[in-house]
Structure 1
Amino acid sequence: MPLDKKYQVLLSEANKRQLPDIKSIELCFLTLSLASHIDKDCADQLSIHGLSEGRFILLFLLDAANQEIAPKTLAEQAGITRSTVTGLLDGLEREGLVERHADTEDRRALKVRLTLKGESMAKNVFDQHSRWIAKIFGNLSTQEHKQLTQLLTKVSNNLHHKE
C-alpha cells in the first residue's frame, strides 16, 4: 500500500535526519494512510445515498432505538455536540428521513423519529455498509483477525490519549 504523499515527505525527511527506528515511523504512516483510505472509501460508499458519516450514524441510532429520541440523547450516543446534531437533523429532515416534534411530556423539548423513508434507508444503507466493512477484512483468516486485533491493541496501549 502506498503512503499518502504527506507521509512520504515526512518519512523522507526522517531518513535524511537519520531518526532512530525509521521502521516504526514508516509503520505508523502506513497505518495512518490505511485509515485515510478507509475513511475515503466510507465517504464514497455513503455519498451514493446522499449521506455523510454523521448523518448515517444518526439514522443508525434512531433505527436501533426503535423509538423516539431526544436530540440531546443522540448527541451523547454519537459523541458529538448538540449543535452538530441539530445541523445533521436539519439535513435529514429536509430529505424526509426524520421528523421532529414536541415531547408529549415536556412541550419545550423535542423528540426525533425516523420516517418510513428513513427506516427503509437506514436498513438498506446499514446492510450495504456492513457488507463493505466485512469485505475490507474479509480475506484475513480467523488467526490473522486475532493476531491483528492483538497487535492493534498492543500499539493502542502506547498512546497517551485513550478513550
Structure 2
Amino acid sequence: MNLDQKYKALLGEAKKRKLPDIEGIQLCFMTLSLASSIDRDCANQLSVHGLSEGRFILLFLLEAAGEGIAPKTLAEQAGITRATVTGLLDGLEREGLVERQADTEDRRALKIQLTSKGKLIAKEVFDQHSRWISGLFGNLSFEERDQLTQLLEKVSNNLTNKE
C-alpha cells in the first residue's frame, strides 16, 4: 500500500527519532492514506455527474423523503449547517435537480423536492455509488469483514476513551 507523501515523511522522521511503536504509527498512516484514497475516488465517481459529496447526500435524502422536506430538516439529517444546505440547494436548483416550494401548511416555510431530472439522477448515481462502495470490500470474505469491523471498532474505542 502506498502511503501519502506527507505520511512517508512523518514516518521517516519517527524512525529517525526512534519513536516507540513505529508499527502503530505506520498503521495509523496507512489508515489515513486509505481514507484519503477512498475520498478522492469518491469525489471522482461523483464529479462525472457534476456532484460533490454534499450535493449527493442531499439528493439521496430528498429521494428518501419522497414528498419534500424542509431545509432545516435536510441540514439536521446531513449533519451540516443550514447555510451550507442553502448553498448546496442553490447549485442543485440551478442544475434543475431540485425545486423550492412554499409549504402548504405554513407559507413562510419552504419544502424542497426533487424534480423529475433530480429523481432520475439521484437513482442512477445512488445505484452506481452503492455498487462502487460495496466493491471496495468485495474481495473480503465474511469472516474478514467481521474481523475488520471488530478491529476498526477497537481502534475507534481508543479515540473515544481518550476524550
TM-score normalized by the length of structure 1: 0.97
Shift of 1:161: 8.1
Aligned partner of 1:69 in structure 2 is 69
- Aligned residue in 1 for 2:126: 126
Instruction: Give the superposition deviation at 1:65.
Output: 1.1
Partner of 1:27: 27
- CA deviations over 1:38-72 (Å, ceiling 9, x no partner): 00000000000000000000000000111110000
Provide the identity percentage.
Answer: 77
Amino acid in the other structure paired with 1:26 = Q
**Structure 2 counterpart of 1:19, which letter?**
L
Q: CA deviation at 1:105?
A: 1.4
Alignment of 1:81 onto 2:88 = no
Partner of 1:51: 51
Structure 2 residue ranges without an equivalent (≥5): none
**Which position in structure 2 is the counterpart of 1:153?**
153
| Runs of 4+ residues deviating >4 angstroms | none
Q: Deviations over 1:46-103 (max 9, x none)?
A: 0000000000000000001111100000000000000000000000000000000111
* Structure-2 residue corresponding to 1:8: 8
Question: Structure 1: where are the runs of 5+ without partners?
Answer: none
CA RMSD of aligned residues (A): 1.1
One-letter code aligned to 2:142: T
Count residues in correspondence: 162
Following the alignment from structure 1 to structure 2, what is the Cα–Cα distance between the partners of residues 151 and 70? 39
State the alpha-carbon separation in 2 of the partners of residues 160 and 4 from structure 1.
26
Amino acid at match of 1:128: Q
Q: Secondary structure at the match of 2:99?
A: strand
Q: Corresponding residue for 1:141?
A: 141
1:134 partner amino acid: S
Q: Distance in 1 between matches of 2:120 and 2:95?
A: 13
Q: CA deviation at 1:160?
A: 3.6
Query: 1: CA distance between counterparts of 2:30 and 2:2?
Result: 8
| Change in 2 beyond 3 A, CA 1:148/1:81 | same
